[in-house]
């Protein structure tokens, strides 16, 4: 395969929460997923660095794979890079942004939480969303890279035996404590890594509803695909078996305690990705 229907990208494995839902609802889509481990975690990058990086990566992927739709499956990037990408590439871009509107409309107590990366919670884009849709609510913002690392560790075991992760459960409970203290009844999972830990969040704080944007993104891609695929005979047909390519940029080397803070590409990770449904796994240079 040298072209693809949809390109999905993130700093790492978080966007796989979107990719999985997308390929489950549109099984004939040919996809390329790009995990930018080299610049992971995005939540600790400056806005300018993210714009440069995404322009570069999207440019290279568009050249190589000619996607019909690009999904920026990352809240941290989408809340800052979409305008620049749309201005540069004549392609439909779908971004993922925190579902603050949905949570604010559903909150009975008018107390909502936003759980995202340290970068996302500071964005002016979020201030505008809150002003527009949640002005009647108390909004508690928690930014955490630790939860992103936890999700990366979890994905390495995808489809394999589940292992007891007591330390992670305690850390996760402590991180989301501000939502309990503020009695939030809706919490937005504003990072695509976090739906991968949804069961843990629900267990730690069952009194809140945990909201994410995954289903809305799938509906958006579906609608766009109906427009884009018109006139391209055969594309999107249900009869063909789709092919899925996973690309990754080389993780940065790290030593000591920092090893917890990097993504590791090894046989365990590759096996998990094959179980998830990828046909080929390639390093993107």
Provide CB contacts within 8 A for 189, sequence distance 6+: 98, 115, 195, 198, 201, 210, 211, 212
CA–CA distance, 64 with 115 (Å, rounded to integer): 35
Stretch that binds ligand DGL, among 19-27, 87-95, 186-194, 240-248 (CB under 6 A): 186-194
Is the CB of 145 or the CB of 229 nearer to ligand DGL?
145
CA–CA distance, 212 with 209 (Å, rounded to integer): 10
191 belongs to the binding site for ligand DGL (CB under 6 A): yes
192 belongs to the binding site for ligand DGL (CB under 6 A): yes
CA–CA distance, 92 with 252 (Å, rounded to integer): 31
149 belongs to the binding site for ligand DGL (CB under 6 A): no
Q: What x-and-dash track marks residues 112-131 binding ligand DGL by CB under 6 A?
A: -----x--x-----------
Catalytic: 74? Answer: yes
Is the CB of 5 or the CB of 10 nearer to ligand DGL?
10
Provide CB contacts within 8 A for 174, sequence distance 6+: none
Stretch that binds ligand DGL, among 10-18, 23-31, 163-171, 221-229 (CB under 6 A): 10-18
Q: Taking the mean position of all CA atoms in its chain, how far away is CA 201?
A: 17
Helices (H), the chain: 16-25, 47-65, 75-88, 100-106, 118-121, 124-133, 146-155, 166-175, 177-181, 198-204, 214-228, 267-276
State the nearest-atom distance from the C-beta of 15 to ligand DGL, in Å.
6
249 belongs to the binding site for ligand DGL (CB under 6 A): no
Total site size for ligand DGL, rule CB under 6 A: 18
Stretch that binds ligand DGL, among 36-44, 83-91, 231-239, 274-282 (CB under 6 A): 36-44
Is the CB of 42 or the CB of 65 nearer to ligand DGL?
42
Phi, psi of 201, deg, nearest 5: -65, -45
214 belongs to the binding site for ligand DGL (CB under 6 A): no
Residues with catalytic function: 74, 191
By the criterion CB under 6 A, which residues form the site for ligand DGL? 10-12, 14, 40-43, 74-76, 117, 120, 145, 148, 191-193
């Amino acid at each position: 395969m040298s072209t693809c229907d949809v390109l999905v990208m993130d700093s790492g494995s978080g966007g796989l929460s979107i990719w999985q839902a997308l390929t489950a609802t549109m099984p004939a889509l040919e996809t390329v997923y790009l995990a930018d481990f080299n610049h992971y975690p995005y939540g600790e990058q400056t806005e300018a660095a993210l714009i440069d990086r995404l322009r570069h990566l999207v440019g290279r992927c568009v050249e190589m794979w000619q996607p019909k739709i690009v999904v920026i499956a990352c809240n941290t990037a989408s809340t800052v890079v979409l305008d620049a990408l749309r201005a540069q590439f004549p392609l439909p871009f779908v971004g993922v942004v925190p579902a603050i509107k949905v949570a604010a409309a559903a909150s009975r107590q008018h107390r909502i939480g936003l759980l995202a990366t340290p970068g996302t919670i500071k964005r002016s884009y979020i201030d505008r969303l809150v002003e527009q849709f949640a002005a009647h609510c108390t909004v508690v913002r928690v930014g955490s890279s630790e939860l992103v690392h936890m999700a990366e560790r979890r994905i390495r075991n995808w489809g394999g035996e589940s292992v007891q992760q007591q330390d992670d459960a305690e850390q996760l409970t402590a991180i989301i404590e501000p939502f309990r203290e503020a009695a939030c009844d809706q919490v937005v999972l504003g990072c695509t890594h976090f739906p991968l830990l949804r069961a843990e969040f629900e267990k730690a704080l069952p009194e809140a509803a945990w909201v994410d944007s995954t289903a809305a993104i799938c509906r958006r891609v579906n609608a766009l695909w109906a427009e884009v695929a018109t006139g391209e005979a055969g594309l999107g047909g249900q009869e063909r078996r789709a092919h899925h390519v996973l690309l990754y940029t080389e993780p940065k080397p790290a030593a000591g305690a920092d090893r917890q803070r990097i993504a590791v590409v090894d046989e365990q990770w590759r096996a998990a990705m094959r179980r998830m449904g990828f046909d080929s796994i390639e390093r993107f240079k």
